[in-house]
Amino acid sequence: MHETVEIGLVVNGVDHQLVIEPRETLADVVRDRLALTGTKVSCDAQVCGACTVLVDDLAISACTYLAIDADGRQVRTVEGLGRAGQLDRLQQSFVEHAAFQCGFCTPGMLMAATALLEENPTPSHDEVVHGLEGNLCRCTGYASIIEAVLAAARVPARAEEVG
Q: Are residues 104 and 76 in the same domain?
A: no
Q: Are residues 72 and 9 in the same domain?
A: yes
- Domain edge (last residue) among 54, 80, 106: 80
Domain that includes residue 44, residue range: 5-80
At 139, the pLDDT band (50, 70, 90 cuts) reads confident
**For the chain, what is the domain count?**
2
Q: Residue 157's domain is classified under what CATH number?
A: 1.10.150.120
pLDDT above 70 for 158 = no
CA distance 62 to 129: 21
CA distance 120 to 130: 12
- Domain edge (last residue) among 62, 80, 98: 80
At 161, the pLDDT band (50, 70, 90 cuts) reads low
Q: Are residues 117 and 146 in the same domain?
A: yes
- Domain edge (last residue) among 23, 56, 80: 80
This prediction's pTM: 0.93
Q: Are residues 45 and 9 in the same domain?
A: yes
CA distance 101 to 110: 14
Q: SS3 of 135, please?
A: coil
Write the pLDDT tens digit of every residue in 77-136.
999 999 888 999 999 999 999 998 888 999 999 999 999 999 999 999 999 999 999 999
